[in-house]
Amino acid sequence: MENKELQKTLGISAALSTVVGMVIGAGVFFKPQAVYSLTGGAPGLGIMAWVVAGIITIAAGLTTAEVSAAIPKTGGMMVYIQEIYGEKLGFLTGWMQTVLFFPGMVAALAVVFAEQATALIEQPGLLLPIAVAVIMLVAFLNTLGSKTGGAIQTVATVCKLIPLILIMIFGFIKGSGENAILTPMVAENVNFGSAVGQVLIAILFAYDGWINVGAIAGEMKNPGKDLPKAIVGGLSLVMAVYFVVNLAYLWVLPANELATFSAPAAAVAEIIFGEVGGKIITVGILISVFGALNGFVLTGSRVAYTLACEKTLPGYKKLSKLNKAQVPAASILLVCIIGSLYALSGQFNLLTDLSVFAAWIFYILTFMGVMKLRKEKPDLERPYRVPLYPVIPLLAIFSGSFVLINQLFFAGMKSSLISVGGIIVTLIGLPVYNAMSKKVK
């Protein structure tokens, strides 16, 4: 069954809400704790890193949008890399996304959803059952059709912005505004160089998800025109929201106190609105995380489906079938089952660090691919071209490489082990590809 049989039902609003919905998820609510812990409770590097990571992400989005528009096929980054570098590297990208990135992100979001839900109902013993249950619920909803998945994104995006807007407005009205914002950059006992990379990898999780809208290009009505608008417009909105809401956090609580709360947004809301307000914001967080979780299931399953269509994924006969609603139900279930297994670890930060590191290896290859395509296929139809070429692609490549090298070699033993683990899981795809290639032949 070919990819072209997927129905083209998604427009600019669904694509834009998918970008915003997948990016604004858990990160803006939970990562400030990790950020200010890494800076030793100092605000400067933390607040500036939200801007730097935003610039990096916009450069990445502007760069990748050219590839997305020139190769508007279902499968996203995997298909881009396959078209640019060949089938083996393309498969390795899809393998990493299918067995590591998407299930890892789904698991991390489910864990953090369950943490907030159990805190709300005061039943901590239900954390793992709720984490698995929410993954399975999202899997079921996505089997009903791509319009259902797109509708969930639109609703969740609107709902999640409400608590953020309330915090941004009333944080500045009711906060003291007496806390330090830009100084000191880091605490005296913190190494600035290594802290930069660690803070950026934490914040890049909060920005992650932008590239995956390309995975639904085959189901968009006008991908050449709408996809770049969705990526760039969505990221600009996200960057503005992230910067302002983090200023609002600091307006209410100092950085060293934010470092002590697992959900800084809820802590700030409780100070602004009282105990009831804190609970309301927690509900908003649950909706936000649910929308992000839905987005990763929606797009991640399309990657598994594309691999199955190419007969390179074990079990491809079942995974390449569409159900009555014309969506790849078996591929949706695959991503969610692996995600459920990862969720049993209960480790939010470990899962996010592992997933983001592995993904950025291939993001950088995609950025480099824009330059490779310009050189090798100058006549390729490009509905969109990255502005200020080659400055913006080079900025994306350099920035991403700095973060990866720092995480692998300079961020401590734990970070290095997590990074190496991601590389090993990815490389397992090579013998799988060789075995499946021989089997199909």
Residue 62 lies in a domain: yes
Residue 74: pLDDT over 70: no
Picking from 52-56, 174-178, 202-206, 226-230, which range would have the lowest pLDDT averaged per residue? Answer: 226-230
Residue 2 lies in a domain: no
Q: Which residues contact 133 (CB under 8 A, 6 or more apart)?
A: none
Q: What length is written for the chain?
A: 441
Q: Across the chain, which distance is largest between two alpha carbons, in Å?
A: 69
The model's pLDDT over 158-217, given as tens digits with 9 standing for 90+, comes to 777 788 888 999 999 998 889 999 989 999 998 898 889 889 998 999 998 777 666 666
- Mean pLDDT value across the chain: 87
Residue 95: pLDDT over 90: yes
CA angle 17, 131, 50 (to 5 degrees): 45
Alpha carbons 45 and 50: distance in angstroms, whole number = 9
Residue 64 lies in a domain: yes
Alpha carbons 397 and 208: distance in angstroms, whole number = 16
Residue 61 lies in a domain: yes
Residue 224: pLDDT over 80: no
Burial code (b: 16+ CB inside 10 Å, e: under 16) for 301-338 equals bbbbbbbbbbebbeebeebbebeeeebbbbbbbbbbeb
> Can you tell me which residue has the tokens 């908003």?
284
Question: For residue 145, how far is the Cα from the chain centroid?
Answer: 22
Residue 313: pLDDT over 60: yes
User: How many CB atoms sit inside 10 A of residue 147's CB?
Assistant: 16
Residue 439 lies in a domain: no
Most confident listed range (18-27, 318-327, 369-378): 369-378
Residue 115 lies in a domain: yes
Alpha carbons 213 and 17: distance in angstroms, whole number = 10
CA angle 62, 67, 68 (to 5 degrees): 85
Q: If you average pLDDT over residues 222-251, what whole number do you get?
A: 85
Q: If you average pLDDT over residues 47-73, what whole number do you get?
A: 88
The model's pLDDT over 386-426, given as tens digits with 9 standing for 90+, comes to 888 999 999 999 999 998 998 888 877 888 888 998 999 99
With pLDDT > 90 as the criterion, what percentage of the chain qualifies?
44
The beta-carbon contacts of 281-286 under 8 Å, at least 24 apart in sequence, are 281/163, 281/166, 281/167, 282/116, 282/119, 282/120, 283/120, 284/159, 284/160, 284/162, 284/163, 284/164, 285/26, 285/29, 285/116, 285/163, 286/113, 286/116, 286/117, 286/120
Note the pLDDT of residue 89.
Answer: 95
- CATH no. for residue 12? 1.20.1740.10
Please give the residue range of the domain that contains residue 348. 7-432
Residue 86: pLDDT over 90: yes
Number of domains in the chain: 1
Residue 72 lies in a domain: yes
Instruction: Report the amino acid identity of residue 24.
Output: I
Q: State the sign of the Cα–Cα–Cα–Cα dihedral 185, 191, 192, 194.
A: negative
Note the pLDDT of residue 144.
Answer: 87
Q: Which residues contact 76 (CB under 8 A, 6 or more apart)?
A: 68, 211, 212, 213, 214, 215, 216, 217, 299, 302, 303
Pick from 269, 240, 232: nearest CA to 253: 269
Note the pLDDT of residue 1.
Answer: 39
Residue 440 lies in a domain: no
The model's confidence at residue 2, banded by pLDDT at 50, 70 and 90, is: very low
The model's pLDDT over 28-42, given as tens digits with 9 standing for 90+, comes to 888 999 899 999 999
Note the pLDDT of residue 172.
Answer: 94
DSSP secondary structure string for all residues of 127-181: HHHHHHHHHHHHHHHHTT-HHHHHHHHHHHHHHHHHHHHHHHHHHHHHS---S-S
